[in-house]
Amino acid sequence: MVTQSTKLADCSPCIASIPARRRVSILGSTGSVGCNTLNVIESNSERYCVESLTAYRNVALLAEQARHVSAKLAVIGDASLFDELKQRLSGTNIEVAAGPGALVEAAQRPADIVMASIVGAAGLAPTLAAVRQGTAVALANKECLVSAGSLFMKEVSASACTLLPVDSEHNAIFQALDGSHGRNFSRIILTASGGPFRTWSTKDMETASPEQALNHPNWSMGDKLTIDSATMMNKGLELIEAHHLFSTGPDKLDVLVHPQSVVHGMVEYRDGSILAQLGSPDMRKPISHALGWPDRIENRAPKLRLEQLSSLTFEAVDEERFPAIGVCRDCMRHNASASTVLNAANEIAVERFLAGDIGFLEITSLVMKSLECAMTDGMLAPLSNLDDVACVDQYGRNKARMLAQGLQ
């Protein structure tokens, strides 16, 4: 199977063929990635115009963004907020729509690149709609690959979609992988900051509060991603992403804790050479790389000053304190449905932790118990279609909710 990096290199457009102003749609514009994408676009306003913006409930910010960039379409996922969005955008020529179907329609609008940054499994249907258009998709939704990886990548291949990874780690690997030598790597290394509890004991983490877990030392992200960083579930999910993006098995995927968050990813080749991508910990770096690809564009992220770095350190992951990575590795060795249950249960577990219903260590424990139940109940069967994904996803959520009640 051709690696995704090679596929991207093979189908890379000629820079001369790129339109003077590229049309961009942003799925999930009010989230962290969406806001940073608009910041990059504003820095390069002569290169980009905005086709569609979508959000789920943040109607005030969506309307403000749509007005600011003169978007052609604004969509709110919660249909009950349609009238408010329409009122906020009255007097403009901006089209307004609402509901899950409208999110999919926004993804199908004519665009040169779609930023897929809706958080969670809710982003799967709109992102697939964008993929099927055969356009360039900048992928910032990890759940598309975790919940439906093999099926999603089949759609990418069938539509000749250009898939550009936006997660800082996968974007770093994409940059470090030479498309013509992609098959010659011996190891892909994702880096992890270690999160706010990198040096905490298991006993201390037992009483960690949501506020402490949300205090990430390096990155500014949404609540869900920040909690995933604290449990290191995000790194496990990224291993599953890399497995699908770069068509490689778990034996060639590794994680190193790198507290400075300067090296975002590394590729080790057969000859022992390691190519690394470095940059300041700012999402505008990978976003600008995806938006500008195959060219490079400017952004407002702080420049990395190597002379100001006192040291770059790396350490192995303590999987006894952070078992989520091992759980994700096990899922890669099972049928794809294991990852679907994993993702669904984790979303519910994080939700319950933020609500104060379960403890911090119970997040990963709840995911593990949900997977055990799925195996007992015969739910870890191969996925044949997206209906299967939806069914297994719903099972994982329902099981996690039920198990969470028993922990309260």
Q: pLDDT, tens digit, for every residue of 195-251?
A: 999 999 999 999 999 999 999 887 667 788 899 999 999 999 999 999 999 999 899
Average pLDDT, the chain: 91
Q: Quickly state the pLDDT bin for 408 (edges 50, 70, 90).
A: low
- The residue to which tokens 């990978």 are assigned: 286
- What integer is the mean pLDDT of 292-315? 94
Domain shared by 161 and 88, yes or no: yes
| Percent of the chain with pLDDT strictly greater than 70 | 93
Say yes or no to pLDDT of 318 above 90.
yes
Instruction: Determine how β-strand 263-269 pairs with β-strand 185-192.
Output: antiparallel
Please provide the DSSP assignment of 153-217 as one string. HHHHHHHT-EEEE-SHHHHHHHHHS-GGGGGGEEEEEEEE---TTTT--HHHHTT--HHHHT--S
- Domain presence at residue 372: yes
Please answer whether residues 123 and 144 qualify as being in contact, where contact means their C-beta atoms are separated by less than 8 angstroms: yes
Top pLDDT among 226 and 10 is at 226
Domain shared by 135 and 182, yes or no: no
pTM of the model: 0.88
Domain shared by 218 and 349, yes or no: no
Left (φ > 0), alpha (ψ -120 to 50) or beta: where does 356 sit?
left
Domain boundary among 268, 290, 308: 308
Domains in the chain: how many in total? 3
In tens, the pLDDT along 30-64 reads 999 999 999 999 999 999 999 999 999 999 999 99
In tens, the pLDDT along 98-148 reads 999 999 999 999 999 999 999 877 899 999 999 999 989 999 988 899 999
For position 8, what pLDDT does the model report? 47
Domain shared by 224 and 185, yes or no: yes
Domain shared by 208 and 158, yes or no: no
With residue 22 as reference, give the H or E element that holds it.
strand 22-27
Full domain range(s) for residue 50: 4-166
Contacts for 77 with CB less than 8 Å, ≥ 6 apart: 54, 55, 56, 57, 98, 99, 100, 102, 103, 122
For position 18, what pLDDT does the model report? 62
Contacts for 220 with CB less than 8 Å, ≥ 6 apart: 32
Among 78, 74, 80, 63, smallest CA distance to 96 is for 74
